[in-house]
Structure 1
Amino acid sequence: MFFSVARLRLFIATSFVAPSFVQAHLNSLFTSSVSYCAPPESLLIQQFDVAYIQHNSSVSFNVSAASVLPNVNVTANLLVNVYGMRPLNMTIDLCSLLGGILCPLPTYNFTGADSITLPSSIDVQSFIPSIAYIIPDLEAFAQLTLTEVGTGKVRACVQSTLSNGWSARQKGAEWATGVIALLALFSAIGYSYMNPEALAAVRLLDVMYLFQTIAASGLLGLNYSSVYRAYASNFSWALGLFSMASSSSIQDSINNMRRLTGGNVDNSDAGQAAISLVNRKLSPYNSPPQNFAISPQLLASAASLPSVDIKSFLSGTYDIPVANSAIFNANIYVGGNVETVTQESSNILEAGIPIYVNVLGIETENAFMTVFLIVFILAAILLAVLGLGYLALLAFSRTSRGHQMAEDAKARYPAFARAWALRTALICVLPVFIFTFYQWTLKDSWLSIFLSVILLLGLLAGILPPVFYVVRSILPTRWSGEEDSSQSHALAPLIASLRTERYYYIIPLLLAIFVKALVIAFGQAHGMAQAIVILVVEFLLLGITIVLKPHRTRGADVLAVFLAIVRTVCTGLSIAFAESLALKPIPRVAIGIIMAVIFSITVIVMFLNVLWHLGLRRVLRLIPWRRHRGTSTGATVLGSSVPSDASLNEKRKGTDAEQGQDSLSPTAFYPRPSNPAPTHTPTTISTFSPISTASHLSEPVTEMSQTSATSSTLGEQLPHRWSFQHSRPPSSSAISHSVGTPTALSPITPTESVYNTPRDSWQIASSREEHPSSR
């Protein structure tokens, strides 16, 4: 029933994730981790790698097991759990299998690897649908229970998680998101130096915060579906957590430091497959473990048994047909070291941060120190780059002594460096807060705790003073803009996209980050409470953004509301992962895929936004149809006047800043030529201003027509509308009678009528050309 109901849902999931994995794939199911589900008594297993190959219905194995009790006849029960359903639950009589070589169990220590073809009596293929081989991050496990014939006593029980090789966690996805961040970084560096208010630098913070939000969404104490946990791990680098081996030099150095400073390293989970230590109440097991321990007598008995190569035991002694193992050269074995996992075990990984970081190869107690080292490396790179930049400016100024460009660059560089130090601190806020607070809950190493306090205080010292200056700037005791222009440029990461009267919007933003970090770090045992609190925070932030409209442009407000909606919706969906709700596996997987799709669409939107600020707008301007469209609207542009209203100029400035092109616009370097001053001093010249024009507009048009034809150019043929030329000085015949006479329209040259007259005057002139009889 499971496969008939869930086939469509799983197909939808596969259609989103599987097409991105372009590689040769062999339909197979193999063990990804192994653990005991009952105390072993007659069968001790040290290694258990098994794979079922659909192509020829064969089983490949790499097994190390010991049967220690003689004359034990057992039956094997094979149970397969897929997404909470049990499509396969069959009992096999081992005495009738493989010629009876397993009845009774031979007392040997079997080791070896090979492939055998299953007999026709074991029809495994009929129980496994084809979709099980392609669905990413399959949630399934197989349980093998050996029960003694006659007594019904369980002699051994092994539980193995199953995988098909497909996963939503991909190196390509990590590199793709990294490239997006690098593009945003290069765009931010270039435009922020030329214009501190350019929004390209603000978009870098938006991109990084989006990636950190996706990664942090997998840190809650929830029973995530495997596909979403794998998807969220693609963004772990944004939190300073990079995939690495548990025996890497970084992890070994952290372990040595912890061992010397009171850390509990002996019971750590280094080198162990994280999934094999997951609490059995969580996916994909959904069944609690039992309490047991492996007896030392059993280990001693297994060590004293003679070793037998399982390959020769099957094929040589008993002539069992061996399958073609050439198809198994891909080495799909993950490593099946059997772990003892019980309710009382100290090495069980709980939901949240422990599972997330151990999947990356990082021990739970090493998470903060890993982030600390990444932040330290990032700070060193920042200081080195800024230092090299300053040395380059010094060298440039020495070789170009007196050059104004070099002097201006040196004057702007301190504010530029301070702005990038603040921008880097803002990027590090969320991961540092989360793992610093979480380190305080572990009480592991005193040096780790000390370094966490130092890092937290240093970060707050770099962020709180700029926030204070920003908030103080909107108080009645506001400073002058001229003498504090460098200070405002240094604060650009906080206020570049905000309106002046909305600078305080940064306070709820930082408070939201702080509250989320507190909830994630200290609420690991209460997953639903974590999700609800974060949902309330995101909903309030969404409401504040909609009400305040804090950004300078409408586009920036729309983008901020869109990102807030995405965070709110995905946080609300994550409540379904709470263990207390006990949601069925299929809806849980579907919700995880929906969240992944929503976040993926948001990533694409931000990628396009980064390209737009990087220069896509310029490329679009070069398209021929775009140029033709702009020419067709020339009459509208020609008929409009130069805006003189301050608010209109501010709005235009905000629009240009959003595009990140303030310093690159042609008018910034090549202003339009102004009219030259006349070479003689006329006795009287009538003034022409919007105020005088407005007074004339209130009079009848017939009164304006009484002006002599020699003193007006109304009705003359205009030159080509795109011809730019200097205005010629007015002639003596065009001078008004005296200052005391009623003000009349001054003679206007064609160029002045296009660029210097108000829009209303131009409309009157046009009306006179269309109706010459009114003259």
Structure 2
Amino acid sequence: MHRSLMSIFSLLLAILLATLPFSSAIQLIESKSLSPCQDNSNFTASLFNVVFTPENRTLGFDVVGVSSISGNVTAELRVIAYGFTAMREVLDPCKMPDLKGLCPMNTGQIDLNSNIQVSPDVIKAIPKLAYTVPDLDGTVRIYINNTDGASVACVEAQLSNGKTVNHKAVGWITAVIAGLGLLASAIASGLGHSNTAAHVAANALSLFGYFQAQAMTGMIAFRLPPIVLSWTMNFNWSMGIIKVDFMQKIFTWFQQSTGGTPSTLLSELSTTSVSIQKRSAEFVHKLLMRAYYQSVPRSNKNSAINEVNQLVVVTGIKRISFKANIEVTNLFMTGLSFLIIFVVMVALGVAAFKGFCEAAVKFQWMKREKFLDFRDNWKTVLKGIMYRLVIIGYPQMAVLCLWELTVVDSPAEVVLALFFFFSMTAILSWACWKVYQIAKRSIHKNPADLLFSDNDILNRWGFLYVQFKATAYYFIGPVLLYILLKAMFISFGQKKGVVQAVALVLIELAALVAVSYFRPWMDKRTNIFNISICAINLLNAIFLLVFSNVFNQPHIVSGVMGVVFFVINAAFALVLLILVLVSSFLAIASKNPEVRYERMQDDRASFIKSQTQLALPTELNALGATARGDKDPRGYEEMGPISSGPGSKNQYESSLAHPPLTAGSTRHLANKEQPHSPVDSSGPYNDAHSGQTPMYSDGYQANERLLTGRSATGSPSPYGRGGGTHPYQQQQSNYSGSWHVGAGYDH
């Protein structure tokens, strides 16, 4: 069994790796940034582009730097891969024709632009894995020593082989499958499969949350192993970080028009060196300032300060923006705009689907009972969908809005950040309080009777609690607090990477302990799904703590753990995607997908009302709808609510044993031959209306009154829409309890 599981795991991982187009079929090693690696380094570079191609044995470089070194020097070259020094060689510029300009070195600016032929021995010394492993964690480090052997400068460059696990195809696949899960749950709900819809929606939302957690991992403010950073970049779409060229121009114009100063880093890469540094940006900037400031004459100090600003170091959220090819000052508006676009597109899609359903019924392309609940209550359903989109977009906006308050791209953007953060937080907080108030009115131990009996409440607020057990409806509160705490540490801690790492470990540990203890989700399968995600999130937080170098471990440990991080999360993401994809397909394709899921232990199915699940004859449809408080399937007025509690199930099943009520089959009713019906003709209705036509004395009149809300005389009935309380409701409450009081019908 163990061996078969390992085989399945290996197969899944192989499939995932096969779907990752690592790009770049040409073998090469390149670097595009140079940064100092020791204090008091006497050499800095504002531009550094180096490309090595083994096929033609060419090393091409374009370097612009500033040196405060004079005299003859030697250079010690070290090539480091995953913390292991693969090559060490001493170079003497005076013995190398291509570097004669550095013999001797002079103070001032140094421009190098040349191609060097590399000897075959050097090429053979480079292992083949250096050209094939994606997101190579390699560094070339150069120590410049004077004639006494003392190091006067140290610079290092990150190496890349052009292959990466970050690819648009991965982002599209994950986004489409997550979207299919949400769409499948909506279709299943419209078809009346409420249990299936709840399970698929819960898994899809949890999958979406896992993707957002992966994207947040890449926003941590310290150096990450290249493979970790590239993998997390695949999920930037879940945070709204998507580049569209014409939108970027609009954001730049908006920022300029509102008093901000747009960043131009991406347009200045030909003259600016950008370093994704393992140390903090503040430390590196001070280091470069000091080195460059000491290298120029006193009269040029001011110009030196301006020049050193071209040495840009990015980390954390700014690093994500740079890697996504988005100007950092446009990042907030990018995330905000895509959330708004997503909300508008979904609203238009719901409205269009409503129109299609009505047209399909009118032209008889679709049966009248299909999507009946949605067609009758589509506005309430739309409100519920809008709330769902708010909770989906809350993690991204919490991070980006709070971060915007620290960078202040423009006054108008700060106002937008405050408005959207506080409005979304207030909306979700108010929704949680509303659900709490509704559930608190329950007189039973099980609040499912109130939370699931009223379609308006279920459609509008159900997104907060349907994924949980009815008794754990409150758990959405801790979930929102968990999201908010993570967002605060990620956005406000951009200069304190270690603090971020420690805080995330504590937050994820608390989350895992809470969900493992309470197990709040609706059933065992869903609990396992979500507890597994929490466990992986905690493991990732521990990885981040190691990557922060708080333990001062050898670099090879971080390099190896980076590969392990990718393997674990790639395999786990693949398993989640397959599970959600299969459940989504079965929810739409199966004739009865409900049989795949166990019955809820909180008895919510006893209270959920759905007309589409009935198969009653025409006349009994009206009686069944009345007994559940629904609208008649044929579009007649809604009758007064009648309990659909535990006692109503037997009444409903007994009613199926009798023939349909017709004008020719009502004689037994007139003779007081009582069927097993939810309506008792001997109830207070007849006592209160003595002398009038007895209830059900005529089948046509009875059904006429039930379906139209009018009395036998044709006058409006007091028990139609907006009428008073039907006496039968009082009678029925004596039979099945008063659980329906306060369930939304009394206001």
Q: Name the TM tier (shorter chain).
A: 0.5 to 0.7
How far is 1:439 from its partner? 1.0
- Per the TM alignment, residue 289 of structure 1 is displaced from its structure 2 partner at its CA by 4.5
Alignment partner, residue 258 of structure 2: 261
Match of 2:572 in 1: 602
For 2:311 and 2:46, how far apart are their aligned partners in 1? 18
For the structure 1 residues 147 and 405, does the alpha-carbon distance in structure 2 shift closer, same or farther, using more than 3 Å as the test? closer
Cα distance in 2 between the residues matched to 1:176 and 1:379: 21
Distance 2:517 2:505 in 1: 18
| In structure 1, C-alpha distance between the alignment counterparts of 2:100 and 2:404, rounded to whole Å | 54
Shift of 1:422: 1.1
After TM superposition, give the deviation of residue 216 of structure 1 in Å: 0.9
The verdict on how the C-alpha distance between 1:39 and 1:270 changes in structure 2, with shifts beyond 3 A counting, is farther
- Identify if the C-alpha distance between structure 1 residues 35 and 490 changes in structure 2 by more than 3 Å, giving closer, same or farther: same
Q: Higher Cα Rg: structure 1 or 2?
A: 1
Distance apart, 1:106 and its partner CA: 12
Q: 1:553, 1:654 within 8 Å by CA — same for their partners in 2?
A: no
Taking the aligned partners of 1:15 and 1:482, their CA distance within structure 2 comes to 42
Q: Distance in 1 between matches of 2:124 and 2:437?
A: 72
**Is 2:349 aligned against 1:385?**
yes
AA matched with 1:596: F
Q: Which residue of 2 aligns with 1:635?
A: none
1:148-159 aligned within 5 A = 159=156
CA-CA distance at 1:385 after TM superposition:
1.9
2:339 alignment partner AA: V
Contact 1:48 1:61 in 2 (8 A): no
Show the counterpart of 1:78: 77
Partner of 1:52: 52
Contact 1:419 1:492 in 2 (8 A): yes
**Structure 1 pair 431–103 and aligned structure 2 pair: CA distance change class (3 A):** closer
User: Relative to structure 2, which stretch is displaced further, 558-567 or 104-113?
Assistant: 104-113
Partner amino acid, structure 2, of 1:33: S
Contact 2:263 2:328 (C-alpha < 8 Å) held by counterparts: no
Are 2:404 and 1:439 equivalent residues in the alignment? yes
* 1:414 correspondence with 2:379: yes
Counterpart Cα distance in 1 of 2:616 and 2:586 = 21
- Residues 1:177 and 2:174 aligned together: yes
Q: Is the 8 A contact 1:61 1:113 kept in 2?
A: yes
SS at match of 1:361: coil
1:720-772 deviations in Å (ceiling 9; x for gaps): xxxxxxxxxxxxxxxxxxxxxxxxxxxxxxxxxxxxxxxxxxxxxxxxxxxxx
1:466 aligned residue = 431
- State how far apart, in whole Å, the 2-side matches of 1:280 and 1:402 are: 63
Distance 2:19 2:54 in 1: 21
The answer on whether the counterparts of 1:289 and 1:341 sit within 8 Å (CA) in structure 2 is no
- Verify: 1:457 aligned to 2:422, yes or no: yes
> Could you give the per-residue CA deviations for residues 259-301 of structure 1, whole angstroms, max 9, x where no partner exists?
3434344686765499833345379x99994522279989xx9
1:326 matched residue in structure 2? none
Say whether residues 1:526 and 2:496 are aligned partners.
yes
Q: Is the 8 A contact 1:144 1:158 kept in 2?
A: yes
C-alpha displacement of 1:158: 5.9
- Determine the structure 2 residue equivalent to 1:96: 95
Structure 1 portions without partners, runs of 5+ = 1-12, 302-338, 631-647, 688-775
Q: Which AA in structure 1 matches 2:179?
A: L
Letter in 1 for 2:171: E
Specify the alignment match of 2:208 in structure 1.
208
Quote the Cα distance in structure 2 between the aligned partners of 1:362 and 1:649. Answer: 48
Structure 1 residue 75: Cα displacement: 4.6
Shift of 1:428: 0.2
**Residue aligning to 1:117:** 117
Alignment of structure 1 residues 480-629 onto 2, 5 Å: 484-616=454-586
Within 1, Cα distance between the matches of 2:179 and 2:488?
29
Shift of residue 432, structure 1, vs aligned partner: 0.4
Match of 2:137 among 136, 139, 157: 139
Superposed displacement of residue 371, structure 1: 1.0
What is the distance in 2 between the residues matched to 1:388 and 1:162? 51
Does the C-alpha gap of structure 1 residues 110 and 609 become closer, same or farther in structure 2, counting only changes over 3 Å?
closer
SS at match of 1:192: helix
Cα distance 1:153–1:417, how it changes in 2: closer, same or farther (>3 A)?
same
1:349 counterpart (286, 290, 313): 313
Give a deviation string over 1:631-652, Cα, whole Å, max 9, x none: xxxxxxxxxxxxxxxxx97649
Aligned to 2:641: none
Q: Which amino acid aligns with 1:191?
A: A
Q: AA paired with 1:605?
A: V
Instruction: Name the CA distance, whole Å, in 2 between partners of 1:140 and 1:491.
Output: 51
1:502 and 1:126, CA in 2 relative to 1: closer, same or farther beyond 3 A? same
Equivalent residue for 1:729? Answer: none
> Could you say what secondary structure the match of 1:579 adopts?
coil
How far apart are the structure 1 equivalents of 2:44 and 2:588? 69
Distance 1:352 1:110, change over 3 A: closer
> How far apart are the structure 1 equivalents of 2:44 and 2:550?
36
Render the CA deviation track for 1:320-374: whole Å, top value 9, x for unaligned.
xxxxxxxxxxxxxxxxxxx9999x8596435422222222123333322211111
Residue 510 of structure 1, CA deviation:
1.2
- Larger deviation, residues 537-546 vs 71-80: 71-80
Give ranges in structure 2 of 5+ residues lacking alignment: 1-12, 444-448, 622-651, 676-747
**3-state secondary structure, aligned to 2:418:** helix
Does the C-alpha gap of structure 1 residues 476 and 575 become closer, same or farther in structure 2, counting only changes over 3 Å? same
1:388-444 Cα distance to aligned partner (Å, 9 max, x none): 334445656776899676875432212221121111111101010011111111233
In structure 2, C-alpha distance between the alignment counterparts of 1:406 and 1:243, rounded to whole Å: 37
> Contact 2:357/2:375 (CA < 8 Å) preserved in 1?
yes
**Aligned Cα RMSD in Å?**
5.1
Instruction: Mark the CA change 1:38 to 1:456 in structure 2 (over 3 Å): closer, same or farther.
Output: closer
User: How far does the alpha carbon of each residue in 1:678-727 deviate from its partner, in whole angstroms, 9 at most, with x for none?
Assistant: 9999xxx9x9xxxxxxxxxxxxxxxxxxxxxxxxxxxxxxxxxxxxxxxx
* Post-superposition offset of 1:446: 0.9
Query: Per the alignment, in what secondary structure is the counterpart of residue 365 of structure 1?
Result: helix
The alpha carbon displacement at 1:513 in A equals: 0.9
Instruction: Name the counterpart of 1:29.
Output: 29
Deviation at 1:157?
7.2
Q: Partner letter of residue 347 of structure 2? A: L
Distance in 1 (alpha carbons) for counterparts of 2:601 and 2:76: 74
Q: Partners in 1 of 2:132 and 2:33 — Cα distance?
A: 19
Q: Secondary structure at the match of 2:219?
A: coil
Relative to 1, partners in 2 of residues 1:257 and 1:119: Cα closer, same or farther, differing over 3 Å? Answer: same
Distance in 1 between residues matched to 2:99 and 2:221, nearest whole Å: 48
Cα contact 2:255–2:262 (8 A) shared by 1 = yes
Separation in structure 1 between the aligned mates of residue 353 and residue 99 of structure 2, nearest angstrom: 78
Q: Does 1:369 align with 2:333?
A: yes
Give the Å deviation of 1:377. 1.4
Q: What's the TM-score once normalised by structure 1's chain length?
A: 0.64
The total of aligned residue pairs comes to: 598
Give the conservation status (yes or no) of the 8 Å contact 2:167–2:234. yes
How far apart, in 2, do the equivalents of 1:427 and 1:580 lie? 33
For the pair 1:425 / 2:390, whether they are aligned, the reply is yes
Q: Is the 8 A contact 1:64 1:111 kept in 2?
A: yes
The separation in 2 between residues aligned to 1:593 and 1:383, in whole angstroms, is 42
Query: How far did 1:47 drift?
Result: 5.8
CA distance in 2, matches of 1:537, 1:573: 14
Structure 2 letter corresponding to 1:363:
E
Query: Is the 2:224–2:547 contact (alpha carbons within 8 Å) kept by the matching residues of 1?
Result: yes
Greater mean alpha carbon deviation, residues 433-442 or residues 135-144 = 135-144
| Equivalent residues of 2:489, 2:500 under 8 A apart | yes
SS of corresponding position for 1:33: coil
Partner of 2:127: 129
Identity %: 18
Q: Is the CA contact 2:190–2:373 (under 8 Å) kept in the aligned structure 1?
A: no
Which residue in the other structure is 1:194 paired with?
A: 191
